[in-house]
Chains A and B, each alone.
Chain A
């Protein structure tokens, strides 16, 4: 009886979480000009619109440019930060770590306002670089969490061994530390890209008309004219995110298998 209740509740939660996604997806293939049910007939017209209309095409391109830029920046900085905070080599590493993770909890609106003022000062407001920097700030915590976990899994005596065998510190990093941490770095990068992809609030504050990302374009188009292109864009985002998530899961699975083999 209790188990049945448990199962029902579990299913209900999953449905609650997934319904909005399933509700929007079929509308990507509607033939009507309205974003609502019932769907009169299925057609590819909105998918076509998404890939041909100038404003949507540039927004997809922008998302890719900004996402890649932010991912590279966040991955490099986040990995360096994780290395620096490793094993208490720094004083107050704990405090530093909290600071680095702060963008995860600070309201994006607050971050957005601050970022806008800051970027205007730097003369980077409404530039690609400005948006990339803003997104990177948001992405760095994900990289740090993931890379730190990977670094923690490396036995420090392995690096000592390398050093005793004649490897200089840079060589130890290149030949031992980095190869062992790379799964964490890659999964951090995936998280970073996914975060940048669906970021709206910060983008609203710091991006100019030229840096309109896909998420931002969806947000504004749903307020101006509710066309089913939004649903098509949503489909694109979800498929993209699922691919990234799948890649991350694959990496984690392979890593898990490796450590399991090492433990055996």
Chain B
């Protein structure tokens, strides 16, 4: 049986530029999947192909077992939420929300009831006779969401829906969308370039780069064990370590880091002694001061210490080898120029594909 939504080796080219390259992607019913990537990585094009605004150059798209890539948008039953809301400026809030129901020829009395209920759900019933231009950005986004939900589409597609909102409102809306997703069991495909948004909201994240999926997995796996250098750098902050592998023994690689330092790292296989590889080490996984049993311990010097309010960012170096560590604000007093022991668990240092 096919997954609920399936992209089967889908490619999309605009002229000679290939935007999406032989994409395979499966999304299950009720899943919240984020498509995350920098602009131009093809994530919006994928959403537009799913919505029906673009046609794949090659490949097939299936929804609920049926091939849909030849269907026009109005036959796909997907609720799309756009970044700029795309509310109808000449209609009132209630008319906007009623629009998809009218298109389905729902009886008038039922439309009124469902619009009422939907607006109640997002607590905007008092505004139902206003025009979109009389609403704030957050209210407009909520109406756009309501309009996309009210006809009970099989999938909700969101194209950077929170991009135009300020930080506080954005975080509030993130929670609201997450809540709706859980409560209504919605299948949501969410396009964003904001990694923290993807991490907090999604069941799974697909990280895109140059028209391909670099990695697709749940947020924790994506963050803790990035598979490629791109993912490691795009999601959160990381120390990229280029190291020569001295030996591999029982899934543990011994690395020589330069400047006379060496460390152990978890090796996922495929590595052999003598080879050079890249590793990712998250700054918050580095402890300063004491080294627990079984962890790597490096003698380094503090070169800078930056105050970030809720945490400190400590830069360490030894000759040309340097690391950034993220510490609790009250974890200690770090003096620039002082020697310190930096330690980390070998499992937190993950090898990246070249």
Q: Which A residues fall within an 8 A CB radius of B?
A: 155, 157-158, 160-169, 171, 175-176, 179-180, 258, 261-262, 264
Shortest B4–chain A CB gap in Å is 18
Query: Are A179 and B90 within 8 A (Cβ)?
Result: yes
Measured between beta carbons, the chain A residues less than 8 angstroms from B88 are 158, 161-162, 176
9 contacts between A and B (CB under 8 A): A160-B73, A161-B86, A161-B144, A164-B51, A164-B79, A165-B79, A165-B103, A166-B77, A167-B103
Query: Are B84 and A157 within 8 A (Cβ)?
Result: yes
Is the CB of B42 closer than 8 A to any CB of chain A? Answer: no
By Cβ-Cβ distance, the 6 closest A-B pairs, closest first, are: A166-B103, A161-B86, A165-B100, A262-B133, A164-B80, A157-B86
Docked Cα-Cα span, A262 to B79, in Å, equals 24
Query: Are A258 and B74 within 8 A (Cβ)?
Result: no
* Cβ 8 A contact of A161, one of B52, B82, B131, B151: B82
Measured between beta carbons, the chain B residues less than 8 angstroms from A164 are 51-53, 73-74, 76, 78-80
Is the CB of B223 closer than 8 A to any CB of chain A? Answer: no
Is the CB of B264 closer than 8 A to any CB of chain A? Answer: no
- Proximity string of chain B (86-106) to chain A, C-beta cutoff 8 Å, 1 when within and 0 when not: 111110000000011001100
Measured between beta carbons, the chain B residues less than 8 angstroms from A262 are 89, 132-133
* Cβ 8 A contact of B84, one of A155, A165, A167, A180: A155
Shortest B136–chain A CB gap in Å is 11
Chain A, residue nearest B150 (CB): A165
Q: Across the A-B interface, how many residue pairs have beta carbons closer than 8 Å? A: 74
Shortest B207–chain A CB gap in Å is 26
Q: Which of B72, B77, B80, B89 has the most CB of A within 10 A?
A: B89
Q: A158-B86, A262-B132 provided; 16 other pairs, C-beta below 8 A?
A: A157-B84, A158-B88, A158-B89, A160-B86, A161-B87, A161-B144, A161-B147, A164-B52, A164-B74, A165-B74, A165-B80, A165-B99, A165-B148, A166-B104, A176-B88, A176-B90
Docked Cα-Cα span, A74 to B334, in Å, equals 79
Query: Are B72 and A180 within 8 A (Cβ)?
Result: no
Query: Are A163 and B72 within 8 A (Cβ)?
Result: yes
Query: Are B103 and A155 within 8 A (Cβ)?
Result: no
Query: Are B100 and A166 within 8 A (Cβ)?
Result: yes
Shortest A97–chain B CB gap in Å is 23
Measured between beta carbons, the chain A residues less than 8 angstroms from B147 are 161, 165
For chain B residues 309-351, which have a beta carbon within 8 Å of chain A?
none
Given contacts A162-B88, A164-B79, whether A261 and B52 have CB atoms under 8 Å apart is: no
Is the CB of B134 closer than 8 A to any CB of chain A? Answer: yes
Measured between beta carbons, the chain B residues less than 8 angstroms from A162 are 88, 99
Shortest A83–chain B CB gap in Å is 18
Query: Are B74 and A161 within 8 A (Cβ)?
Result: no
Query: Are A264 and B133 within 8 A (Cβ)?
Result: yes
Interface size on B, residues (CB 8 A): 30
Measured between beta carbons, the chain A residues less than 8 angstroms from B53 are 160, 163-164
Q: Which of A165, A171, A258 has the most CB of B within 10 A?
A: A165
Shortest A66–chain B CB gap in Å is 33
Docked Cα-Cα span, A164 to B154, in Å, equals 12
Measured between beta carbons, the chain B residues less than 8 angstroms from A158 are 86-89
- Proximity string of chain B (19-47) to chain A, C-beta cutoff 8 Å, 1 when within and 0 when not: 00000000000000000000000000000
Measured between beta carbons, the chain B residues less than 8 angstroms from A163 are 52-53, 72-74
Docked Cα-Cα span, A155 to B82, in Å, equals 12
Docked Cα-Cα span, A262 to B135, in Å, equals 9
Chain A, residue nearest B147 (CB): A165
Measured between beta carbons, the chain A residues less than 8 angstroms from B76 are 164
Shortest A51–chain B CB gap in Å is 42
* Cβ 8 A contact of A258, one of B77, B87, B89, B100: B89
Query: Are A166 and B133 within 8 A (Cβ)?
Result: no
Measured between beta carbons, the chain B residues less than 8 angstroms from A175 are 99
Chain B, residue nearest A164 (CB): B80
Shortest B97–chain A CB gap in Å is 10
* Cβ 8 A contact of A166, one of B51, B74, B132, B144: B74
Measured between beta carbons, the chain B residues less than 8 angstroms from A169 are 74
Measured between beta carbons, the chain A residues less than 8 angstroms from B134 are 261
Measured between beta carbons, the chain A residues less than 8 angstroms from B89 are 158, 180, 258, 262
Docked Cα-Cα span, A175 to B91, in Å, equals 10
Docked Cα-Cα span, A185 to B89, in Å, equals 18
Docked Cα-Cα span, A167 to B91, in Å, equals 15
* Cβ 8 A contact of B74, one of A155, A157, A167, A264: A167
Measured between beta carbons, the chain B residues less than 8 angstroms from A261 are 131, 133-134
Docked Cα-Cα span, A262 to B134, in Å, equals 7
* Cβ 8 A contact of B133, one of A165, A179, A258: A258
Measured between beta carbons, the chain B residues less than 8 angstroms from A176 are 88, 90
Measured between beta carbons, the chain A residues less than 8 angstroms from B144 are 161
Shortest A57–chain B CB gap in Å is 42
Query: Are A166 and B151 within 8 A (Cβ)?
Result: yes
Docked Cα-Cα span, A262 to B144, in Å, equals 16
Chain A, residue nearest B103 (CB): A166
Q: Which of B53, B74, B87, B132 has the most CB of A within 10 A?
A: B74
Shortest A88–chain B CB gap in Å is 14
Measured between beta carbons, the chain A residues less than 8 angstroms from B100 are 165-166
Shortest B187–chain A CB gap in Å is 15
Chain B, residue nearest A179 (CB): B90
Measured between beta carbons, the chain A residues less than 8 angstroms from B151 are 165-166
- Proximity string of chain B (168-200) to chain A, C-beta cutoff 8 Å, 1 when within and 0 when not: 000000000000000000000000000000000
Query: Are A171 and B86 within 8 A (Cβ)?
Result: no
Q: Which of B72, B79, B88 has the most CB of A within 10 A?
A: B88
Docked Cα-Cα span, A229 to B73, in Å, equals 62
Shortest B138–chain A CB gap in Å is 15
Shortest B91–chain A CB gap in Å is 9
